[in-house]
Amino acid sequence: MYPICVMVNGLPGNMAATVAGHVDNDSRFDLIPFSLTGADIPFSEYKLGNVLIKLIHPDNRDAAIEDIVKKYPGIILVDYTHPSAVNANAVFYARHNMPFVMGTTGGDRKSLEGTVASSATAAVIAPNMAKQIVGLQAMLEYGAANFPDLYKGYSLKVRESHQNGKADTSGTAKAIISYFNRMGIPFTEKDIRKERNPDVQQKAWGIPEAHIGGHGWHTYTLTSEDQTVTFEFTHNVNGRDVYALGTLEAVVYLHEKISQGVQSKVYSMIDVLQGI
């Protein structure tokens, strides 16, 4: 079964670099020394430890990927690129019948799943790859399915903070508010308080200076109509390792499914947790 050939796309981005580093140090995987990158990246190579990774720009990726697939059969892609590239990347992966783990948030998620469903490949797609946070989401999803209108009449406040380079609203926050919607609270994405200012993050939020450049702090506060009852759910992550480790579990899970001949199937991180 091992090692699994893994190509991490999105270098030199921080999340892609973190995942690639874990892949390179894990005996279950072989890190493929190539990475799809954006047209705006001005260089063609990235040094990761002792590994020199060739960066492939959009204008030559079709030709390059054919050679890579031949050289590394059974390859699985990991995508930590940019929200604006999500859908185009998925179409590219599907066209070449390449299974992938999509950790990048944003894009048209329904279209993303439809691309996989109409293809001959499979994927794990999730707005959050941290297993423990996904477990919390699973609990809330259970509540939404089994206790509709549980919090009817309550108000909701959501605040999330990520590093300044995160281009979009947290996909995890959007998923979690959907559960509270089903439990009776009207709330929309535009109501999320999104913080990206490093000075505010450190002074007002208390986020450690060492992690201003890489963190994910979320708090969901529910208050009863008469203000006498408050519930609060918080998950604060400093650094990126917890997401990277979950991504590796998703790669192993997807590799097993592909080995079983699965096609045209989208899996979530909840599927991964249940299959571990």
Catalytic residues: 162, 166
DSSP state of 96: T
Among 116, 15, 22, 66, which residue's Cα sits nearest to residue 34? 66
- Residue linked to tokens 């002792």: 50
Residue 20 buriedness (CB in 10 A; 0-12 / 13-18 / 19+): buried
Contact 251, 101 (CB under 8 A): yes
Strand partners, 52: 47
CA distances for 110 relative to 87, 140, 221, 249, 264, angstroms: 10, 21, 28, 24, 14
DSSP 123-191: EEE-S---HHHHHHHHHHHHHHHHSTTTTTT-EEEEEEEE-TT--S--HHHHHHHHHHHHTT----GGG
Among 234, 244, 238, 193, which residue's Cα sits nearest to residue 213? 238
Residue partners of 143: CB distance under 8 A and separation at least 6: 150, 179, 183
